[in-house]
Structure 1
Amino acid sequence: MGLLQLLYILLSVCLVWCANCKDGYSSHGDYCYALLPLKASWAEAQQYCKALGASLAVIENNDERLFVEGMLKREHNNISTGQIWIGGTDLLQEGQWVAPETLEPLSYFNWATGEPDNLMGQHCLAIFNSADLKWDDNLCEVHNFALCKAEGSADISIVG
């Protein structure tokens, strides 16, 4: 994907998202959520979210998980990836999951059966794009869509 295409996508997202979660973006509590329409590695996805003044979505409790699941189910026809990146990694220490920006330990999980399994060195958190939307640790290099989250009152712009 060319730089101009990426900037166009980010600008398009910003033009909508900068308007306090209107026109296709979802708000829940004090936060805005957007599913970015491009596939990227986990680190790239985090950078794309950051360019919008956001971060990969850290899901902190059951209420937020249910909201995100509803949002993803509404977007299901637009998701052409097996998983969606969210905020969480155990790259620094296996089994110790932390938020991408703050490195604060995560305390809420919705793991699929048998996960996390660290298969072949999986260290990045994703949601399975399936009926149950359970969580998986995946290889960070895999290209998936990203779920971004920002404070609703944040100054969201494409300038990082």
Structure 2
Amino acid sequence: MKKVIILFILAHLVLGAKRYCIPDIKANWFKAHEFCTTLGMELISIESQAEHNALIKFIRSTDKFSNATRFWIGASDLAEEGIYTWISSGRLVTFTNWAANEPNNINNTEHCIEIIHNIYINQVWQWNDMECRNEIAYFVCESEDIQCVDNF
């Protein structure tokens, strides 16, 4: 089964100890999280401007990039309205790149974060809260090699 799933991954990047990939499918936020987990990965956490910039550079290098595209990342306020946390660690989201007037939780249904690059609505690599279940988008998975014992 894992071999079949890996065939769907077209874009990947390694930066230091972290690996990133964009599967060749679109999904809602929950399915995106599930798919990343089956790969032994998580939806991406972005904790600095440098990580955000590296992600953008990676996305721009793939065939998933267009003038109107969106990508799920691993943050939501599903546990507590208005308090965004990373699904991989449970840590609070401290770095953000919200679009103007975001997050806005339209109709009390927008709880998951996406990155949007859409020149037609003047949102360029900005974050937006979106309805988790119905919106279908590409997504970015990440993994980090964990070493339990330091080299000596």
- TM-score class, shorter: 0.7 to 0.9
Matched position secondary structure for 1:35:
strand
Alignment partner, residue 64 of structure 2: 78
Letter in 1 for 2:130: N
Identity %: 25
Give yes or no for the alignment of 1:97 onto 2:89.
Answer: no
Which residue, 118, 132, 139 being the options, matches 1:130? 118
Give the match's secondary structure for 1:69. Answer: helix
Aligned twin of 2:22: 35
Q: Does 1:60 align with 2:47?
A: yes
Displacement of 1:95 in angstroms is: 1.0
Structure 2 contact 27–137 (Cα < 8 Å) conserved: yes
Look up the SS of the partner of 1:85 in the other structure.
strand
Unaligned runs of 5+ in 1: 17-23, 155-160
TM-score by length of 1: 0.78
- Partner residue in 2 for 1:12: 7
Whether 1:26 aligns to 2:13 is yes
SS of aligned partner of 1:72: helix
Deviation at 1:79, TM superposition (A): 4.4
The structure with the largest strand share of the pair is 2
Write the distance in 2 (CA, Å) between the matches of 1:53 and 1:59.
18
Distance (whole Å) between structure 1 residues aligned to residue 96 and residue 22 of structure 2: 20
Equivalent AA in structure 1 for residue 114 of structure 2: A
Deviation at 1:130, TM superposition (A): 2.8
- What is the identity, as a one-letter code, of the residue corresponding to 1:136? N
The answer to whether the 8 A contact 1:27-1:152 is kept is: no
Q: Cα offset for 1:11?
A: 2.5
Return the structure number with greater relative CO, CA threshold 8 A, min gap 6: 1
Q: Report Cα offsets for 1:5-58 as digits up to 9, x if no partner.
A: x972x13257x8xxxxxxx52122321111111111101100100111110000
- Look up the equivalent residue of 1:124 and give its one-letter code: C
Structure 1 segments, 4+ long, off by >3 Å, are 79-82
SS of 1:66's equivalent?
A: helix
RMSD, aligned α-carbons? 2.4
Q: Scaled by the length of structure 2, what TM-score is found?
A: 0.82
Q: Which amino acid is the alignment partner of residue 64 of structure 2?
A: N
Consecutive unaligned residues in structure 2, runs of 5 or more:
148-152
Aligned residue identity for 1:113: A
Number of aligned residues:
140
